[in-house]
Structure 1
Amino acid sequence: MKYVISLLILVLLLSCNDEKQPILGDTDYQRKVNAEFKDASKSPLKDKDRKHFTGLDFFKFDSTYVVTAHLKATPNTEWFDMKTTTSRVSPERIYGVLTFELKGQTFTLNVYQGKDTMKQEGFEDYLFLPFLDDTNGDESYGGGRYIDLRIPEGDTIEIDFNKAYNPYCAYNEKYSCPIVPRANYLALRIEAGVKAFKK
């Protein structure tokens, strides 16, 4: 009988240890994102996907994908309805144009400001950078990825493509996600950031 009780205690201890796995990730950013995805109160994952979640698949961190861009502000641009993956539209405007060099080429991307987002506490200076690249539909999510930025004090801004993330609708169709404008297509492979989610 003592043997059976000891065996049951051992099984319980091992099962508890299984549940408390360390948060995976090579960088602080990756560990932060994985912790949020594991947290039921924050995660966009469906319950069945979160149950066995150990971490998102990221490209290996690469410092060449951290670039300094010149920001040319475009004040007084008109608000427009950015389409989303549902019938909802998101009122946005082009805040400015970012110009940067990557892999020996010069690129430009529009960076957006959301009318509703800028009214939220803590997001008054938030900028939205959606983009498409040649990894989409292969290693990365087919609909493109996003990067969060903040309005800088000067006319330069750091873009870290290692922090590129998938729209929430890549994990759960209940979310309404802005569709990346075609103007923000980069004709190269951005092998940085979050990869496609394999369910």
Structure 2
Amino acid sequence: MKSLLTTILLLTATCCFAQKNKTYNDSLKAYQQQYVSSHEVVKGGDRKYFRFFTIDKNFKVLCRFERSADTSVVRMKTSGKTIPQKDFRRYGKLIFIIHDTTLQLTVYQSTPVKQNDPYKDYLFIPFTDLTTGEATYGSGRYIDIFTTDIKNNEVVIDFNKAYNPYCAYTTGYNCPIPPRENYLAIAINAGEKAFAKATH
């Protein structure tokens, strides 16, 4: 009887885990479909060239957030010629673990930020990793969060939602290039891959 009860509990736990994982995967698939169908730059038939890694919940991570004491302006280089650099301030730092490796990313905030700026709560996380220039876009990818996402000095970031800058699809944009401090020395096999259609 005890053995039977243990088996039932294990099966119940497995089913619950599978259901939660399915729900997560379904929500990410819906997110990707919305991302593709509403993209501002890639239109019509070209949308078939979007590619994504297989959804992997291991790349959804809880991060410790440390507010930056250094709020000096960071002049981030861009891929464009009309605006060769854009100004940001270091807002804070994220520390997290993926595959037993402790990593960190700097979080940036656009400057200047005014009280009535609709983007005043928007935070920008550009990054590169070992897939950059191979499976993913050669200048790196982005993740967005908001100041309101940070609670008790913690925030969740989901690399399955990492996306390409507009420059990955066409010319004419001035996309910030992730600085060296946001290079991750592992492969982030999650989120958007390199666009499958030649753009240049």
TM-score (norm 2): 0.77
Match in the other structure for 1:44: 41
Say what the alpha-carbon RMSD is for the aligned residues.
Answer: 2.0
Deviation for aligned residue 1:79? 1.4
Distance 1:26 1:160 in 2: 10
Look up the match of 2:134.
Answer: 138
Of the three residues 154, 157, 160, the one matched with 1:159 is 157
Letter in 2 for 1:160: D
Match of 1:108 in 2: 104
Task: Tell me whether 99-108 or 28-37 shows the greater mean CA deviation.
Answer: 28-37
Partner of 1:69: 63
* More deviation, 116-125/50-59: 116-125
**Aligned pair count?**
167
- Aligned to 2:50, the other structure's residue is in SS state coil
Cα contact 2:65–2:155 (8 A) shared by 1: yes
* One-letter amino acid matched to 1:114: S
Q: Structure 1 pair 82/120, CA: closer, same or farther in 2 (3 Å)?
A: farther
* Contact 2:80–2:172, Cα closer than 8 Å, also in 1: no
Q: Which moved more, 1:58-67 or 1:150-159?
A: 150-159
Specify whether residues 55 and 69 from structure 1 end up closer, same or farther in structure 2 by C-alpha distance, changes over 3 A only: same
* Percent identity of paired positions between Structure 1 and Structure 2: 40
1:131/1:196 CA distance change after superposition, 3 Å: same
Task: Identify the match of residue 172 of structure 2 among 162, 171, 174.
Answer: 174
Compute the displacement of 1:118 (Å): 6.2
Instruction: Identify unmatched segments of 5+ residues in structure 1.
Output: 1-24, 38-42
Q: CA 1:117–1:160 in 2, change beyond 3 Å: closer, same or farther?
A: farther
1:116 Cα shift? 4.5
Gaps of 5+ in 2: 1-26
Q: What is the rounded CA distance, in whole Å, between the counterparts of 1:144 and 1:156 in structure 2?
A: 24
Deviates more, 1:97-106 or 1:78-87: 78-87
Q: Secondary structure at the match of 1:54?
A: helix
Which residue does 1:16 correspond to in 2? none
Rounded Cα–Cα distance in structure 2 between residues aligned with 1:61 and 1:176: 29
Please identify runs of 4+ aligned residues in structure 1 that moved more than 2 A: 50-55, 116-122
1:27 aligned partner: 29
1:123 to 97, 119, 125: 119
